[in-house]
Amino acid sequence: MYKYRSAILIAIILFITNPYASHSQDFDISNSTKVKLWATFYYALKLEEYTQDDAVPIRNMQDQVIGPKIQASDWCKGAIEGTIHVASQVFNYAGVRNPKQADCPHKSSSRVRWTLAKHPYGDGSRGNPLLPFKTLACDLGTVENSEPWLNGGYAKFGQRIYIPAAKGIALPNGQTHDGIFECGDVGGKITGNHIDVFLGAVSGGYSNAAQLNPFNFVKSDPGKTFDGYVLN
């Protein structure tokens, strides 16, 4: 009994210290569903607090101030990604409401509101932790214009997807990816066989995130598909 409990404890410690490595020698894809996918990436935008007269305070859905002030342009960028890091705090997209807070090119971003996140990199669609290089936004059939893509239906929350092209890739954090990702988030533009790979917290915006992205299968092009296996 002692050896059995020790083995369980070791397995838990291994997963916590390195969630990117497979902790079984093999995983069976014979019962999985092979799908064609295409991918983009998203990230949590790291921002600096801003105190000039044109600063915009972070507000919740009740329009109450819940965080420091940021630049209006940063507000617009962060609204697209859905998670922002400011002054050691993390905020997640909560919804939209009037009045607008900034003049954003993407009009609905001007009215975005926030909620304080529970996890270091932000929260997924069910309050779960977002994990860099591991969490995917997937079409779970819950967003407008959802398109069935998995056996005439959708992936389930928490469903794992094995992507052979990711296996063995060296990550910026020094670890090696096992090729397995998890559907732990959703996005308004993530429909059908489109997946969005979470990269973690990034300063400076899209160009810096693109440099951080270690996955060569992420082409941001619906015509550039690759194989994935939805694990049962």
| pLDDT above 60 for 2 | no
Model-level pTM? 0.88
Count the alpha carbons within 13 Å of 27 in the hemisphere toward its beta carbon.
Answer: 19
* Confidence class for position 18, pLDDT limits 50, 70, 90: low
Q: What is the DSSP letter of 127?
A: S
Query: 1-36 burial, b for 16+ CB within 10 Å, e for fewer?
Result: eeeeeeeeeeeeeeeeeebbeeeeeeeeeeebeebe
Ranges of each domain in the chain: 29-42+125-230, 43-116
Q: Span 5-28, mean pLDDT? A: 49
Inform me whether the pLDDT recorded for 6 exceeds 90.
Answer: no
pLDDT in tens, 111-128: 999 999 999 999 999 999
Residue 215 has pLDDT above 60, yes or no: yes
What is the reported pLDDT for 209?
96
What does pLDDT average to over the chain? 90
Asked if the peptide bond before residue 99 counts as cis, ω within 30 degrees of 0, the response is: yes
The tens digit of pLDDT for each residue in 161-193 reads 999 999 999 999 899 999 999 999 999 999 999
For CA atoms 227, 230, 19, 220, the dihedral sign is: positive
The confidence score (pLDDT) of residue 112 equals 96
pLDDT score of 26: 54
Q: Say if CB 104 and CB 78 are below 8 A apart.
A: no
Pairing of strands 33-47, 83-86: parallel
